[in-house]
Amino acid sequence: MAEQTSDTTAPTSLWVERTGTRLYTGRSSRGAEVLIGSEGVEGVFTPGELLKIALAACSGMSSDFPLSRRLGDNYEATIRVSGAADRENEVYPQLDEVLELDLSELDADAQERLVTLVERSVDKVCTVGRTLKAGTKVTLTVEKEQ
């Protein structure tokens, strides 16, 4: 989802701090933390896992309004995301999401209309998914302390 700021609110700052060999803590200026490390280390996410979680969360948040409007505020949803890395090229060539919902209270036509609406909502407003599909320019600047 797009980061929303107003003229009086500063944008959220994000950074990671090294806490050990291939171990980092991701932080935000809003006080959030996430542990990041290598696969096989308990209690941490890998950067690739965080990318996948960001995609799934964005899809969930992008579909929240139409789903809550049709299913009620307390609907349950799980979004599973997967995709193996191509280690030769160090990319994820494909990421697959599965949105699990109980639509048994709706008839077949209503289910189909809701699924179409959810797909459109995600395609239109999920910033993470749209960025991954479009590609993005990434820059790295190394600041040297004197």
Per-residue model confidence as pLDDT tens digits over 6-32: 556 889 999 999 999 999 999 999 999
d(CA 35, CA 116): 36
- Is the residue at 2 inside a domain? no
Residue 4 has pLDDT above 60, yes or no: no
SS3 143: coil
Q: What is the pTM assigned to this prediction?
A: 0.89
Quick one: pLDDT at residue 7? 55
Total domain count, the chain: 2
Q: For residues 21 and 93, state if they share a domain.
A: no
pLDDT digits (tens, 9 = 90+) for 104-120: 999 999 999 999 999 99
Q: For residues 26 and 71, state if they share a domain.
A: no
Q: For residues 100 and 56, state if they share a domain.
A: yes
- Is the residue at 81 inside a domain? yes
Q: CA Rg, the chain, in Å? A: 18
* Strands annotated E in 29-146: 33-37, 77-82, 96-101
- Is the residue at 54 inside a domain? yes
Q: For residues 115 and 54, state if they share a domain.
A: yes
- Is the residue at 7 inside a domain? no
Q: For residues 35 and 61, state if they share a domain.
A: no
Q: For residues 33 and 64, state if they share a domain.
A: no
Residue 88 structural domain: 45-132
Q: For residues 60 and 121, state if they share a domain.
A: yes
- The vertex-28 CA angle with 84 and 121, nearest 5°, equals 55
CATH of the domain at 84: 3.30.300.20
Q: For residues 27 and 53, state if they share a domain.
A: no
pLDDT digits (tens, 9 = 90+) for 40-64: 999 999 999 999 999 999 999 999 9
